[in-house]
């Protein structure tokens, strides 16, 4: 468990996101979404985070269930606006464990009130809230706006080329130069 907490904290430190030990080991209760999530309700959301359907905005207050009647060991179940949603861990695409996935997706504090978000330029803040990626955004802003890219194609967010999936057949790419988006494709 200590090793997992260290890995989660180290990943969060790279992007200036505070992750405390109590957040890394999430328990049932109210949390805030740390990134925008896309859902095709009532289907489970794969951790590839396809960007279709409706959006559960960053900073949304959600109620998380540690155990739900239909939850498998690879499911994260939460309630938003009175509806139950499931994030389904896709081990082929997501290389982090379920605890790290929970910690980077949900937190005890609203990211829209964080110093990281407040430090973003106004254009970046607007794009993050709208779930858009635009040239000039920083890596933390892209993560908040679009979520984490699937690790099978983007093994680390330290790299300068990230690949996202719009749906099962269409990809979108983001290229960074000096830590900022310099080009996008497929958007």
Domain ranges of the chain: 2-110, 112-185
pLDDT averaged over consecutive 10-residue blocks of the chain (187 residues)?
38 44 56 95 89 96 70 83 91 87 94 97 97 97 97 94 94 98 96
pLDDT computed for residue 95 by the predictor: 86
Give Cβ neighbours of residue 110 (< 8 Å, ≥ 6 apart).
32, 59, 61
pLDDT computed for residue 3 by the predictor: 40
pLDDT computed for residue 71 by the predictor: 57
**What CATH code is assigned to 112-185?**
3.30.1450
Provide the b/e sequence for 63-86 (b: ≥16 CB within 10 Å): ebbeebeeeeebbbbbebeeebbb
On the 0-12 / 13-18 / 19+ scale of CB atoms within 10 A, 139 is buried
Q: Distance between alpha carbon 119 and the CA centroid of its chain, in Å?
A: 19
pTM of this prediction? 0.82
């Amino acid at each position: 468990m200590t090793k997992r907490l260290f890995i989660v904290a180290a990943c969060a430190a790279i992007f200036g996101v505070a992750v405390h030990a109590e957040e890394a080991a999430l328990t049932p209760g109210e949390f805030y979404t740390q990134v925008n999530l896309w859902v095709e309700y009532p289907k489970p959301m794969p951790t590839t985070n396809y960007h279709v359907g409706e959006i559960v905005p960053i900073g949304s207050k959600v109620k998380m269930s540690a155990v739900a009647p239909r939850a498998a060991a690879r499911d994260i179940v939460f309630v938003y606006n009175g509806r139950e949603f499931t994030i389904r861990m896709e081990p082929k695409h997501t290389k982090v464990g379920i605890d790290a996935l929970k910690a980077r997706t949900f937190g005890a504090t609203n990211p829209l009130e964080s110093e990281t978000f407040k430090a973003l330029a106004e254009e970046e803040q607007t794009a993050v809230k709208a779930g858009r990626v635009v040239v000039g955004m920083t890596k933390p802003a892209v993560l908040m706006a679009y979520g984490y890219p699937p690790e099978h194609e983007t093994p680390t967010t330290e790299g300068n080329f990230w690949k996202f999936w719009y749906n099962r057949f269409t990809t979108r790419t983001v290229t960074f130069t000096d830590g900022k988006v310099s080009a996008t494709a497929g958007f």
